[in-house]
Chains A and B, each alone.
Chain A
């Protein structure tokens, strides 16, 4: 396609991020004036000495609310929905019983990866009967192979001994890897097992060659004990391979690239949600709580003609709500199907574009925005840049099918 909107969007996002990395330090306003949001330092002082008790309570409760939200997102990976029972379901999604009945924590990131069959769920230890039998058999052969391996000795010069020790260590790791693969609670992965077995066989052959080379003699000249041990090792490896081949029905295909892509997009959504949470915490730290963010003084303007939805009045809190809803509610739903990913890419790019304009405008010394002082606060600026980077990552992943296309 000649007119590639995605390429155009990626080009402008890279351009903006490159600018933000090198932008000049903005000059802070000395006299905020009544129409401007107060200088953060003044704001902090104002909050501290305010005699208006309700303001203090408001800001305090906002801050506490934000801290609570951030803690909930950290634990649950997202904000629970507003419906009755949402919170309970969200809790149950990340805390569940292990095989012994003990309640254990299952972080969302792990959950997402597990869905994509990337990691083994630690709480599932009960293997299907056939796999358990295979696992016991391969583990027994693996133990025997490792103890045989440990008995092999080098009779060559020092450098050959070091070489042999290194090869033995790698082979030992590979045997452990094959045994572990057979014991995976979420099923044996074809790709993982085949690769480990192929490497194991190759390295055992190389080890034999190194032993002969180290001894500097023909095969018959290798000490009988070593020759016997090596033959036993080769035999054990062959038996392990045959056992795995006989258990082919237990071995599942590798996770599809599609499921890995979905998992990556979900992780990018979580990362962006965390970055957004950090930005909101910075607002709160400056006393720019939920109520202030919803006020007329917090109205954003000049945020793009293409973005039709933004031509109406939009406050900082409206934007925050939009981002939260997209990252926590819509995004995870849309991530799992192709057209939905296009929606995520579009939304992430739109939000990037809006936030970029805010960040760039704030960096202009003659900015007319009443929010100028807020967005030039170094901590807010840093949090905003992080969020922009996370949104760029998310948009790119969604545009490129999770980076696997």
Chain B
């Protein structure tokens, strides 16, 4: 079971995330993983969460630079906001599961 989760996350690690559509697909697959009982029932759930957190941070930092260079197209900034919204939804799912009795 644990191996399955790790495998799924590893596959997602290789996703190319340059466009909003790619992000949408990526986050949708992540949501499936964090909604699955095997993720939360695994003995290594904390390790999974740590790995997922690091993974998202790295991917988001790739997409969002804290100082967008002059000339960044507005559409890219709007997409960043939409990706941010998707991630908030993902975080909420994780929060809900993590705090469930």
A interface list, Cβ under 8 A from B:
2-3, 5, 8-9, 11-12, 14-16, 18-19, 22-24, 304-306, 353, 356-357, 360-361, 363-364
Could you tell me if B65 and A15 are in contact, using CB atoms closer than 8 angstroms? yes
Could you tell me if B74 and A363 are in contact, using CB atoms closer than 8 angstroms? yes
Residues in B64-101 with C-beta less than 8 Å from chain A: 64-75, 77-78, 80-82, 84-85, 87-89, 91-92, 94-95, 98
**1/0 per position for B5-45, CB-CB distance to A under 8 A?**
00000000000000000000000000000000000000000
Q: How many angstroms between the C-alpha atoms of A363 and B98 in the bound complex?
A: 40
Residue in B60, B77, B84, B91 whose beta carbon sits within 8 Å of that of A19 in the complex: B77
- Binding site of B, secondary structure by majority: helix, strand, loop or mixed? helix
Could you tell me if B78 and A360 are in contact, using CB atoms closer than 8 angstroms? yes
Q: How many angstroms between the C-alpha atoms of A2 and B65 in the bound complex?
A: 20
8 more A-B contacts (CB under 8 A) besides A2-B49, A15-B68, A15-B80?
Answer: A3-B98, A16-B80, A19-B68, A19-B72, A22-B68, A304-B81, A360-B78, A361-B74
Residue B4 at the chain A interface, CB threshold 8 Å:
no
Could you tell me if B91 and A360 are in contact, using CB atoms closer than 8 angstroms? no
Could you tell me if A12 and B78 are in contact, using CB atoms closer than 8 angstroms? no
Residue B50 at the chain A interface, CB threshold 8 Å:
yes
**Cβ contacts under 8 Å, A357 to chain B:** 78, 81
Could you tell me if B70 and A306 are in contact, using CB atoms closer than 8 angstroms? no
**Cβ contacts under 8 Å, A353 to chain B:** 81, 85
Across the two chains, which residue of chain B brings its CB closest to A3?
B91
Known: A3-B91, A19-B72. A11 touches B66 (CB 8 A): yes
Q: How many angstroms between the C-alpha atoms of A322 and B75 in the bound complex?
A: 27
**Cβ contacts under 8 Å, A23 to chain B:** 74
Across the two chains, which residue of chain B brings its CB closest to A13?
B84
Q: How many angstroms between the C-alpha atoms of A203 and B87 in the bound complex?
A: 57
**Cβ contacts under 8 Å, B67 to chain A:** 18
CB distance from B39 to the nearest CB of A (A): 14
**Cβ contacts under 8 Å, B71 to chain A:** 24
**Cβ contacts under 8 Å, A5 to chain B:** 88, 91-92, 95
Q: How many angstroms between the C-alpha atoms of A364 and B77 in the bound complex?
A: 11
Known: A5-B88, A12-B81. A22 touches B64 (CB 8 A): no
**1/0 per position for B44-69, CB-CB distance to A under 8 A?**
00000110010000001000111111
Could you tell me if A364 and B85 are in contact, using CB atoms closer than 8 angstroms? no
B interface list, Cβ under 8 A from A:
49-50, 53, 60, 64-75, 77-78, 80-82, 84-85, 87-89, 91-92, 94-95, 98
CB distance from B93 to the nearest CB of A (A): 10
Could you tell me if B70 and A22 are in contact, using CB atoms closer than 8 angstroms? yes
Residue in B50, B75, B78, B84 whose beta carbon sits within 8 Å of that of A2 in the complex: B50
CB distance from A360 to the nearest CB of B (A): 5
The 4 closest A-B pairs by CB, nearest first: A306-B85, A2-B53, A364-B74, A12-B84
CB distance from B37 to the nearest CB of A (A): 19
Could you tell me if A305 and B77 are in contact, using CB atoms closer than 8 angstroms? no
Q: How many angstroms between the C-alpha atoms of A306 and B77 in the bound complex?
A: 16
Q: How many angstroms between the C-alpha atoms of A134 and B81 in the bound complex?
A: 60
**Cβ contacts under 8 Å, B73 to chain A:** 364
Q: How many angstroms between the C-alpha atoms of A362 and B89 in the bound complex?
A: 26
Across the two chains, which residue of chain A brings its CB closest to B61?
A11
**Cβ contacts under 8 Å, B60 to chain A:** 8, 11
Could you tell me if B94 and A12 are in contact, using CB atoms closer than 8 angstroms? no
Across the two chains, which residue of chain A brings its CB closest to B82?
A305
Q: How many angstroms between the C-alpha atoms of A360 and B79 in the bound complex?
A: 11
Q: How many angstroms between the C-alpha atoms of A24 and B70 in the bound complex?
A: 8
Known: A15-B64, A306-B89, A361-B74. A8 touches B95 (CB 8 A): no
Could you tell me if A3 and B95 are in contact, using CB atoms closer than 8 angstroms? yes
**Cβ contacts under 8 Å, B53 to chain A:** 2-3
Could you tell me if B68 and A356 are in contact, using CB atoms closer than 8 angstroms? no
Q: How many angstroms between the C-alpha atoms of A270 and B73 in the bound complex?
A: 33
Q: How many angstroms between the C-alpha atoms of A364 and B79 in the bound complex?
A: 13
Q: List 22 A-B contacts (CB under 8 A).
A: A2-B53, A3-B91, A3-B94, A5-B91, A5-B95, A8-B87, A9-B84, A11-B64, A12-B84, A15-B64, A15-B65, A16-B77, A16-B80, A16-B81, A19-B74, A22-B69, A304-B82, A306-B88, A353-B85, A361-B74, A361-B78, A363-B74
